[in-house]
Amino acid sequence: MYAVELNDFDIKQIALSGQCFRINGEEDGWWSVAAFRRCLRVRQQKKYCEFDCSAEEFSRIWAPYFDLQTDYSKVKEKIRQTGDPYLMRAADYGYGIRILQQDLWEMIVSYIISQRNNIPRIKKIIERLCALFSGNFPTSSELKIFTKSDFQQLGLGYRAEYVYDIVQDAENGRLDMALLKSMSYADAVKYLKQFKGIGDKVADCAALFALHKTEAFPIDVWIRRIIDTQYGGQFDYAQFGAFAGIVQQYMFFYQRYGLKRESSQG
DNA sequence: CTGCAGGCCCTTA
DNA sequence: TAAGGGCCTGCA
């Protein structure tokens, strides 16, 4: 067990932030984090955090995963300097969000699955997929025996073909993960968008949540809605430079959970 | 029964 | 370059 006090960190907010699909709350108050063919249990009281692993494993694997080397107070300071009341409320609300550094292959496949889909269903599909591999997210090599109909039976619908194709590409080397990791943000996005089923949003999510290109600012329907309603259709995210992706997360999280909508959703 | 959910592809102008 | 229709599937 490794225990530590952390600033700007909230495991529940991270779990709900929508950037990851395999962090789940347990009934006993712990959170289970599935990543890198491991499962970490996390518990938190205020700043006091407990991680069910050794100090060595924590610093080697989980500290980078949770982006603990980044000082998020600087992002919040930058937001305060803009004087933008919406952003200040958003950052205040999602104070404990971090940009995770997740597995690249898993993010590419997960965000292809996510398109035109809702979060509960995305999670169910990924859960079904991982269940076939002892709870681990399968490698491209493990998926190369899958047919399109195998993917369809997991509930991927028309995305089955996209995932099938990219498995083949990962296996034949056309999708080169090591090369991607060496690229700039602009090059990585351009490279990813060659593949069927990967557009602007999916490429940006892979860049932000796996390659840690924190200047990326994925625009989905939620962010689009904020830009339209709060900013008259134009939002200058480039002003935040390498903090843009973090700002995006504050906005998304605040929009989804902070603003109670008067309609059906409770 | 419609409508739609964290897009993307393809076709047209 | 922009706009619009279609798409698997599950759920309200």
| Distance in Å, residue A200 CA to nucleotide B9 C1' | 13
Q: Structure pTM?
A: 0.96
Q: Which protein residues have any CB–strand C distance under 7 A?
A: A 116-118, 120-121, 152, 155-159, 264
Q: In this model, does residue A265 exceed pLDDT 90? A: no
Q: A110-125 pLDDT, tens per residue? A: 999 999 999 999 999 9
SS (H, E, C) A118-161: CHHHHHHHHHHHHHCCCCCCCCHHHHCCCCHHHHHHCCCCCHHH
Q: Look at residue A57 and tell me whether its pLDDT is greater than 60.
A: yes
Nucleotides of B under 7 A from a protein CB: 5-10
Residue A70 falls in which region: left (phi positive, over 0), alpha (psi -120 to 50) or beta = beta
Confidence label for A266 from pLDDT (cuts 50, 70 and 90): very low
- In the 104-143 segment of chain A, residues within 7 Å (Cβ) of strand B are 111, 114-119, 121
Of all nucleotides, the one whose C1′ comes closest to residue A155's CA is C9
Q: What is the pLDDT of residues A21-35, one digit of tens each?
A: 999 999 999 999 999
Strand B closer than 7 A to residue A202 Cβ: yes
Answer yes or no: is pLDDT of A231 > 70: yes
Q: What is the mean pLDDT of residues A161-168?
A: 97
